[in-house]
C-alpha cells in the first residue's frame, strides 16, 4: 500500500473511534420512556396528556406537571410522583401499588374506590378530591389538605391524619376506627353516621362539625374544641373529653354512658354529664 494511502487510512480510522463513541447505543435510547409527545422523566411538563394504558412503573416523575392527565389503566407500580402536580387528573383504574405521592398536588383528583392501603400521602394537597369508597387503611395523611374532599364511605382504619385539614370534607358513613386525628381541623366537616371507635381526636377543631348518629365509643377528644358541634343521636360511651372546650352543642338522643370530661371549659360542659339514674320509688 502506497504511503499516502496508508496515511489516509490511519487518519480515517482515528476519526471513526470518537465518532462512534458519540452515537447513541442501545442502552441510551432504551432508558427514555416516551408516551406520545411526552418524555416521562422528573420535572416533565405534560399537562392534559392521555397516559391511559401506559406502563410507567418504576419511573421517577418527581415534580412533574401532569395536571389533568388521564391515567386510566396506567401502571404506576413503584412510580415516584413526589411533589408532582396531578391536579384534576383521573386515576380511575390505575395501578398504584407502592406509588410514592408525598407532597403531591392531588386537588380535584378522582380516586374513588381505589385501594390506597398504607400509602404515604403526607403533606399532599387533596382539596376537592374524590376518595369516596377508597381504602386508606394505615395510610399516612399527616399534614395533608383535604378541604372539601369526598371521603364518604371510605375506610380510614388506623390511618394517620395528624394535623390534617378536613374543613368541609364529606366523611359520611366513613370508617375511622383507631384513626389518628390529633390536631386535625374538622370544622364544618360532615361525619354523619361515621364510625370513630377508639379514634384519637385530641386537640382537634370540631367547630360546627356534623357528628349526628356517629359512633365515638372509647374515642379520645382531649383538649378538642367543640363549638356548635352537632352530636344528635351520637354514641360517646366511655369517651375521654378531658380538657375540652364545649359551647352550643346539640346532644339530643346522644349516649353518654361512661363519658369523662374533667377540666371541661365552656357553657355546654354541664350537658355532657351523663344523666343520673332515676331515684328509686320508696315502697308504700
State residue 33's pLDDT score: 85
| Rounded Cα gap, residues 76 and 119, in angstroms | 13
Q: Which residues of 119-151 are buried (b: 16+ CB within 10 A; e: fewer)?
A: bbbbbbbbbbbbbbbbbbbbbbbbbbbbbbbbb
What does the pLDDT average to over 121-146? Answer: 96
What does the pLDDT average to over 163-182? Answer: 98
Residue 273 — pLDDT band, cuts 50, 70, 90? confident
Residue 11 — pLDDT band, cuts 50, 70, 90? very low
Region of poorest pLDDT, from 56-65, 84-93, 159-168? 84-93
Which grid coordinates belong to 155?
A: 375506610
State residue 274's pLDDT score: 59
Amino acid at each position: 500500500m502506497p504511503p499516502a494511502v496508508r496515511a489516509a487510512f490511519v487518519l480515517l480510522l482515528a476519526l471513526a473511534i470518537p465518532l462512534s463513541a458519540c452515537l447513541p447505543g442501545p442502552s441510551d435510547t432504551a432508558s427514555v420512556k416516551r408516551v406520545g409527545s411526552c418524555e416521562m422523566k422528573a420535572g416533565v411538563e405534560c399537562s392534559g396528556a392521555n397516559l391511559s394504558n401506559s406502563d410507567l412503573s418504576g419511573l421517577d416523575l418527581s415534580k412533574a406537571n401532569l395536571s389533568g392527565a388521564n391515567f386510566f389503566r396506567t401502571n404506576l407500580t413503584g412510580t415516584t410522583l413526589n411533589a408532582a402536580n396531578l391536579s384534576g387528573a383521573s386515576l380511575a383504574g390505575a395501578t398504584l401499588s407502592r406509588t410514592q405521592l408525598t407532597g403531591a398536588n392531588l386537588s380535584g383528583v378522582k380516586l374513588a374506590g381505589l385501594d390506597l392501603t398504607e400509602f404515604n400521602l403526607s403533606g399532599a394537597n387533596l382539596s376537592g378530591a374524590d376518595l369516596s369508597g377508597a381504602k386508606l387503611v394505615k395510610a399516612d395523611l399527616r399534614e395533608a389538605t383535604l378541604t372539601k374532599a369526598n371521603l364518604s364511605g371510605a375506610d380510614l382504619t388506623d390511618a394517620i391524619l395528624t394535623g390534617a385539614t378536613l374543613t368541609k370534607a364529606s366523611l359520611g358513613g366513613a370508617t375511622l376506627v383507631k384513626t389518628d386525628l390529633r390536631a386535625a381541623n374538622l370544622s364544618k366537616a360532615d361525619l354523619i353516621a361515621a364510625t370513630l371507635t377508639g379514634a384519637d381526636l385530641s386537640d382537634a377543631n370540631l367547630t360546627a362539625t356534623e357528628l349526628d348518629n356517629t359512633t365515638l365509643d372509647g374515642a379520645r377528644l382531649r383538649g378538642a374544641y367543640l363549638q356548635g358541634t352537632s352530636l344528635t343521636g351520637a354514641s360517646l360511651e366511655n369517651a375521654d373529653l378531658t380538657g375540652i372546650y364545649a359551647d352550643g352543642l346539640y346532644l339530643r338522643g346522644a349516649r353518654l354512658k361512661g363519658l369523662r370530661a374533667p377540666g371541661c371549659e365552656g357553657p355546654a360542659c354541664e350537658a355532657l354529664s351523663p344523666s343520673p339514674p332515676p331515684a328509686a320509688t320508696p315502697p308504700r
